[in-house]
Amino acid sequence: MARQDSAELLVLHTAATNDVTTGARLRKAGMSSSTIAARCRPGGPWRRLLPGVILLNRAEPTRRQQLLAATYYAGTDAVVTGVDALQACGLALPTPRDVHILLPPGRRMLPREFVSFERTTRVPVPIWHGEVPLAPPARATIDAARQESDSDRLRRILCLPVYHGLCTVEELRTEVDCGNQRGTAAVRQMLRDLGSLKETYRHGTARELLRRMPLPMPAWNMTICDLQGHPIGAVDAWWDEIALGWQFGGSVTGSGPTMNHLALVAAGVVLVRSTPDQLFAQTERTARELISAFASAAKRRRPKVLAFGATAA
């Protein structure tokens, strides 16, 4: 019996991912159709999530298990798009009811419990997340936005990928122009209202760069003042404990007293300044400058300055 149990465990380990598999995989690994059917009956240890797709327990499936099940059911030429693809990139968005699957135009599949299908002549080249093929960020964003009727949630769907540096507004507009036009009227209007979002994209790129560096996350968009509360200057990122500032957006090229980097330096702030070109194209150099500046700022006595307007990292 122990030998049989070990053999069965090997079969399941070979055929399943996250306890999700298909009948075809189980049969290929050596399990009989009658055994599979018996275990999927009411009261059995397994359950069928979709036709031909099996969960190797009786619990409610996690979202990851639903994604795997939808992928196995839809086949090799399908791609997951929408919010699920954006969540895989790390974006905090509410999980939709259905997994949104893109199919080539020649395929017809009926919607199932937690899966909806959309046929398109523009099935994108997927980005693989384990065994799940995901649409690129710009495509996933527009596909998610076309499904959203609430203006506040629509704005968040369009802004978050840009803010996190996953795509640009120009890429989103191109995707709207090239793709399915159903449900795009509100998306087009929102993109017009949002403008270029250049500052948003710069901040997103900066955040992604910092995530790869051995530095704590800063506060964002800060005004630095003296002890009397008089503004000295503005920074895009701020490490308050050591009074280190980073300017990479409008504060690099802007004018006026709030943009005066010389006043910040005179007040004792350690300041790193990066042009947008340096931020996007010279990331290694920018990273070295930030790490060096952080080390220098940590060694000296903190100047007597105050910071206002923090945004949570």
Can you give the pLDDT at residue 4? Answer: 46
Instruction: Tell me, yes or no, whether 162 and 271 share the same domain.
Output: no
Instruction: Tell me, yes or no, whether 131 and 89 share the same domain.
Output: yes
Instruction: Tell me, yes or no, whether 265 and 173 share the same domain.
Output: no
Place of tokens 């990331």: 283
What are the pLDDT digits (tens) for 101-111? 999 999 989 99
Instruction: Tell me, yes or no, whether 182 and 281 share the same domain.
Output: no
Per the domain annotation, does 204 fall within a domain? no
Per the domain annotation, does 206 fall within a domain? no
Per the domain annotation, does 313 fall within a domain? no
Q: Which of 196, 225, 260 corresponds to the end of one domain?
A: 196
- Provide the number of structural domains found in the chain: 3
196 within 8 A of 250, measured Cβ to Cβ? no
Q: Give backbone dihedrals phi and psi of 79, rounded to 5 degrees, phi first.
A: -135, 135
Give the pLDDT mean for 249-269: 69
Instruction: Tell me, yes or no, whether 142 and 28 share the same domain.
Output: no
187 within 8 A of 176, measured Cβ to Cβ? yes
Q: Is the pLDDT of residue 3 over 50?
A: no
Domain boundaries, position 287: 215-308
Q: Cα(215)–Cα(243) distance, rounded to whole angstroms?
A: 14
Q: Which of 56, 77, 93 corresponds to the end of one domain?
A: 56
What are the pLDDT digits (tens) for 69-79? 999 999 999 99
User: 80: closest CA among 91, 94, 90, 66?
Assistant: 66
Instruction: Tell me, yes or no, whether 155 and 270 share the same domain.
Output: no
- Give the model's confidence band at 253: pLDDT under 50 very low, under 70 low, under 90 confident, else very high: very low
